[in-house]
Chains A and B, each alone.
Chain A
Amino acid sequence: MKNGFRQSMAWLHTWTGLVVGWVLFFVFVTGNLGRFDGEIDQWMKPEAPVQTASVAQQLSAAQARLQARAQDAERWTVYLTTNRDTPHLRIRSEEPPVNGKRGKRTEEYLDPATAAPLEARATGGGQLLYKMHYALHYMPRSVSDWLIGICSMFMLVAIVSGVITHKKIFADFFTFRPGKGQRSWLDLHAVLAVLTLPFFLMITYSGLIFLVFTLFSSILGSNYGFGEKHRQEFNNELAGREDLLVEPFGTAVPLIDLNNLVAVLDERWGQNQVSTVEVIYPGDANARVRVSRNMESPLRSTDELIFNGTTGELLSEQPASGVAPRNIYETLLGLHESLFAGWTLRWLYFLSGLAGAIIIASGLILWVVKRRPKQIKQKSGPDLGFRLVEGLNVGTIAGLHIAIAAYFLANRLLPLNLPSRVDWEANIMFSVWLLALLYPLIRPIARAWIEQWTLAAAAFLLLPLVNALTTERGLNQSLAAGDWAFAGFDLTCIAAAGIFAAIAIHLQRRAKPATATTHGVIPGIAREANA
């Protein structure tokens, strides 16, 4: 710690930011790609065009499939293709809880025309990439939730201490001074952070709110008891869904045809407004059907209708907006997820997230730039810690992009019948990232930067090419057909490649040794003269 409030805050900002910077960079990049998870899903399942079946047909198909293979489940959920987040009909079944732990969940994509599983390659898709930003990978949620929770807390501390440290927040509001070394990095870091402060604060704080019941499990536990079942109970009570607070009756009564509800739904909300249909205790006399509407504002809770699952009688109607504390909670979560956002706002979200990644990266780079002059002068060479930070910076800030490109390439190039194909996509991604992190061990740091950016550019440029070669939906076809998920993906890859290449070229130019001037000889000057 240093003396003085501002110095203390600067110290706090530097070290909280450094410790978790690389995890946060990963979280920001993968989470930011999650803004387009549905579109990435489409790209990663090139065999499966966007479905356009009616809500009734989708419900029939889903019900047939669930009845055939998940009759004993406690809960079914059907995700309809009525919004951009769901390009393909998806069903989920959940078995009854065992010893207070949540029952096993099974997810499946369906072809609404045949009620059979969707014929498409096995892939983690955009969903897996998006999921990584809060669940990481290769670890159970009980671990990742705490890791992400702690990192987010550090981030919040770094944001608040950063604002306090920033002396000239108003005077320098519009100021960027390029080409001045450390000063420029600091300007970049500060200007972007000030501009996107509302977003930055919102995304970090709301991210923590997602984890609130994990991080403070005793809030719920003291009143409801621990475990998934009690959490459901709490959620239902909070949302005022008394009609869902039922126990299974124990007698088998067949479930109604779900598509019989469509007429009621259309009348109340208009066509294609339903996002999910959830069935609790299917096949039981106490079966309930909960229907949720598509989101239309940052408020994540939506209008809901609850039906009796054996008679089809409408039991109750829940408005989207409830008591104020719940509205605040749901709005924070909705703001974070941005499912309500249309195309313009979605891209602005994406750009804000990009700014967030740049803020984190520039912070990490600043740490190095500030210490380099002293470090390279040391007789014994730079400290191990300094070199570690340099290496992690290269391997993450540049290397992560190579890894993500590798994930997409694996989707196209792995054999379609490979067992555990979904796992291999992710294994390849993380192997490439590991290699990128180790790479600075064998190369000088300046070269490692240039080479990794070059590789990232090449890999992203390769994606549209490989896509054109391995599918019928290459850029020329997708542009001609107005297939915007595919065209958008390919064009974004090309843009990313362009940016990475520009960085590589810029670094390459700077790395060239300054024009050597030997003493007394100045190129371009013919003669020395006397006054």
Chain B
Amino acid sequence: MLLATLLVYIGFVALALQKNRHLHVLWPGAELSPADRQALSFVGWTSLSLAAAYLIDQRGIGNGLVEYCAILSGAGLILILQFTYRPRSVLALGFLPSQHPHQHRLKTPDLHSFFAADTMTQHSITRTTFARIPTRHGDFHLYHYLNTEDDKEHLAFVYGAVAGEDVLARVHSECFTGDVMGSLRCDCGEQLNRALALVARAGRGVVIYLRQEGRGIGLEQKLRAYNLQDQGYDTVDANLMLGHGADERRYWLAAAILRDLKIKSVRLLTNNPEKIHALANEGVPVTARVPIEVGLNRENQDYLTTKAVRMNHLLPGIPTSIRRAAEPYVEPA
């Protein structure tokens, strides 16, 4: 039974690694050629079939097939738990490293650091490259990162020599509609521009650009939420109705990028107290908050009010007469 379990497990690992989502947990940024995928597929299905054949041979068709199904469930469950909570243990359990795709960034599994790793900090980032980007505010450098959690390219827009304490920093989450198209539904684009200007004026600083569109729910879902907002729901309820949290953003990546840039502590450009707590929890001291309140318009007035009242954002510019309309949002138990 043990041999069959091992075969099923190896088969599942091979099949799972065909998917970038799982592959990149172990080898960030790795690319698979169609031949690689075929090889993985072959290894996967062969081991699964071998396990079945072995069990039927050893235990007879009846018992063999029953045990096979039970092993499929069990091995699958173990692998899912590993990918979710301890991805690197997939390697530690002895999956053939020779199987790995042609990738130079592969580090051999480091057992010590794995067992020492805390579940939340086990993911890591890798800086790939950076380049000079001149803007109307001055010369920035754009740093490009890959990470083990998702397939996205997270960025840091750096001005001046940032290593050190009390660096002015903005942790900005992607908003295609606001940042690029100048949508008036939100204040994202204006905040981004303001942040770049303030950082340049301060002489040094960083704008971290996290690819968590729409407070972490993605562009498609954000657009659906906009439709709900047009029916009268606010930004929090719209997200909840689509089955998302009010705010699904996470900030470990920001903390990791700040560490990579050797920034010891930050003065954070934000109105969002959650963001301050989140960064502090990830081990980045926030020595001060710098408000970044921008224009109120007819389109974003409701949105900003919701942020102020239901999400505790610090927006003294919102008149109290508007605030009363909304009630605070408390995370349901």
Residues of A within 8 A of B (CB): 171, 173-178, 180-183, 186, 191-192, 195-196, 198-199, 202, 297-299, 331, 335, 340-341, 344-345, 348-349, 351-352, 355, 370, 372-374, 376-377, 446, 449, 507, 510-511, 513-515, 517, 519-520, 522, 524-531
Contacts and interface: CB of A to CB of B under 8 A. Distances in A.
Interface string B203-241: 000000000000000000000000000000000010011
**Residue with the highest number of chain B CB atoms closer than 10 Å, among A348, A519, A531:** A531
* Among A181, A192, A527, residue most surrounded by chain B Cβ atoms (within 10 Å): A181
Contacts, number: 133
B248 A180 contact: yes
A514 B246 CA distance: 14
A175 B77 CA distance: 10
B72 interface: yes
**B interface, over-half SS:** helix
Given A195-B72, A198-B69, A527-B288, A373 B314 contact: no
Given A199-B73, A373-B241, A520 B316 contact: yes
Question: 10 nearest interchain CB pairs?
Answer: A373-B240, A348-B70, A529-B288, A297-B62, A446-B333, A182-B243, A531-B198, A198-B69, A298-B62, A511-B333
Interface string B1-35: 10000000000100110010110000000000000
B289 A524 contact: no
A3 B77 CA distance: 35
B69 A199 contact: yes
Nearest to A341: B66
Contacts of A531: 168, 198, 201-202, 267, 269, 290
15 contacts: A174-B79, A176-B80, A176-B84, A180-B248, A181-B244, A183-B243, A298-B63, A349-B70, A514-B330, A517-B312, A520-B316, A524-B277, A526-B288, A528-B289, A531-B290
Given A181-B244, A297-B60, A510-B333, A174 B288 contact: no
A374 B241 contact: yes
B290 A530 contact: yes
B63 A297 contact: yes
Contacts of B289: 522, 525, 528-529
Contact of B66 (A181, A186, A335): A335
A139 B147 CA distance: 60
A32 to B, nearest CB: 14
Contacts of A335: 66
Contacts of A198: 69, 72-73
A182 B71 CA distance: 29
Contacts of B83: 174-176
A377 B237 contact: yes
Which residue among B84, B241, B243, B290 has the maximum number of chain A CB atoms within 10 Å of its CB? B243
A376 B291 CA distance: 33
The contact size tier of chain B is 35 or more
A195 B76 contact: yes
Interface in B89-140: none
A345 B70 contact: yes
Contacts of A180: 244-245, 248
B273 A517 contact: yes
Contacts of A528: 288-291
Nearest to B21: A175
Nearest to A349: B70
B74 interface: yes
A490 B267 CA distance: 56
Contacts of B330: 513-514
A526 B241 CA distance: 37
B276 interface: yes
A171 B62 CA distance: 31
Given A176-B80, A183-B244, A373-B237, A525 B288 contact: yes
A372 B332 contact: yes
Interface of B: 1, 12, 15-16, 19, 21-22, 60, 62-63, 66-67, 69-74, 76-77, 79-81, 83-84, 168, 198, 201-202, 237, 240-241, 243-245, 248, 267, 269, 273, 276-277, 280, 286-291, 312, 314, 316, 330-333
Contacts of B19: 171, 174
A186 to B, nearest CB: 8
Given A345-B66, A372-B332, A373-B241, A519 B77 contact: no
B287 to A, nearest CB: 7
Contacts of B237: 373, 377
Nearest to A445: B333
Given A174-B80, A183-B244, A199-B73, 8 more contacts: A176-B81, A181-B244, A183-B243, A191-B80, A195-B80, A298-B62, A351-B74, A531-B269
Contacts of A349: 70
A167 to B, nearest CB: 14
A351 to B, nearest CB: 7
A522 B70 contact: no
Contacts of A376: 332
B73 A195 contact: yes
Contacts of A199: 69-70, 73
B280 A524 contact: yes
B278 to A, nearest CB: 12
Contacts of A524: 276-277, 280
